Amino acid sequence: MDSMDGRPWSGDEFRERLHRAQAKYHHVHPFHVRMNAGELSPDQLRGWAANRFYYQKCIPLKDAAIISNCPIREVRRLWLHRITDHDGLREGEGGIEAWLRLGEACGLPREEIRDERHVVPGVRFAVDAYLTLARSKPWPVAVASSLTELFAPDLMSTRIKAFEQYYTWVPPWGLDYFRSRVTRARTDSEEGMELTLRYCDTLDLQQQAVAALLTKCDILRAQLDAISAAYPDKSGDGKKGT
């Protein structure tokens, strides 16, 4: 129940509300469930990799928006690594490069990933909505939207096992992105939670933070809805990726 006198929630209650918002996270989406069960075809995996790249390339833009809206130098310093984590400090490094290699490992030419020819409108709309959220909301609220990372370490570990067991046609070097996120996402989520708890210090900001996290979950699920529609299961009842 919301505070009747406008006082902020306690730290424990705020944290609990943020964790409850994760129930809508996209790890339970049918597309992800089928992926982890080895039921996606090569075309479906390639379609997912190509479309998810649009999200990956926009992550540093989201983080740059948070920095640009934040007046606190110490927070900007802390958040800055997220941009270089994805963009890299030089050519051939960073999360975006690792995702391009994943796409190549799945059989997509790099130029087809970079030119976004496979990105479907629903994915583009959802990702652009996330950028708008990050640019237009108070910076600690935008930080809270990043807390979908709380599930990422376990999801990445499960995904690595699924690829190694079912999608053996994908070479091991293509999984480097997933491996890097197992540890990095845990650190990032702890960092994001600490900033959210500290700087969402009014009831209004706390409520906005929970709403932003719920919206982010909706955005991630909308991406998978669009990918599922563009790359339907043609086998009728699922088929192991070969």
CATH number of residue 119's parent domain: 1.20.910.10
Residue 133 falls inside a structural domain: yes
Distance CA 34, CA 28 (A): 10
Angle formed by the axes of helices 42-69 and 73-87, nearest 10°: 160
**Least confident interval from 75-79, 130-134, 152-156:** 152-156
Residue 5 falls inside a structural domain: no
Residue 204 falls inside a structural domain: yes
pLDDT digits (tens, 9 = 90+) for 36-57: 999 999 999 999 999 999 999 9
Please list, in sequence order, all residues whose beta carbon lies within 8 angstroms of the beta carbon of residue 43, skipping any fewer than 6 positions away. 231
pLDDT digits (tens, 9 = 90+) for 184-197: 988 999 999 999 99
CB distance 48 to 227 below 8 Å: yes
Q: What is the mean pLDDT of residues 223-238?
A: 85
Residue 4 falls inside a structural domain: no
Q: How far is CA 34 from CA 77, 138, 154, 160, in A?
A: 39, 37, 17, 14
Expressed as residue numbers, the domain containing 175 is 11-230
Residue 242 falls inside a structural domain: no
Residue 112 falls inside a structural domain: yes
Task: Please report which confidence band the pLDDT of residue 3 belongs to, taking 50, 70 and 90 as the band edges.
Answer: low
How many Cβ atoms sit within 10 Å of the Cβ of residue 15?
Answer: 14
Residue 209 falls inside a structural domain: yes
DSSP designation for 232: -
CB distance 113 to 103 below 8 Å: yes
CB distance 200 to 14 below 8 Å: yes
Task: Please report which confidence band the pLDDT of residue 150 belongs to, taking 50, 70 and 90 as the band edges.
Answer: confident
Please list, in sequence order, all residues whose beta carbon lies within 8 angstroms of the beta carbon of residue 206, skipping any fewer than 6 positions away. 8, 9, 14, 17, 200
Distance CA 6, CA 77 (A): 32
pTM surpassing 0.85? yes
Q: How many domains does the chain have?
A: 1
Distance CA 61, CA 120 (A): 20
Query: Would you state the pLDDT for residue 170?
Result: 98
Please list, in sequence order, all residues whose beta carbon lies within 8 angstroms of the beta carbon of residue 142, skipping any fewer than 6 positions away. 62, 65, 66, 69, 133, 134, 212
H or E element that contains 128: helix 121-136
DSSP designation for 7: P
H or E element that contains 138: none
Using only the alpha carbons of the chain, give its radius of gyration: 18
Residue 153 falls inside a structural domain: yes
Closest CA to 221 of 53, 43, 20, 24: 24
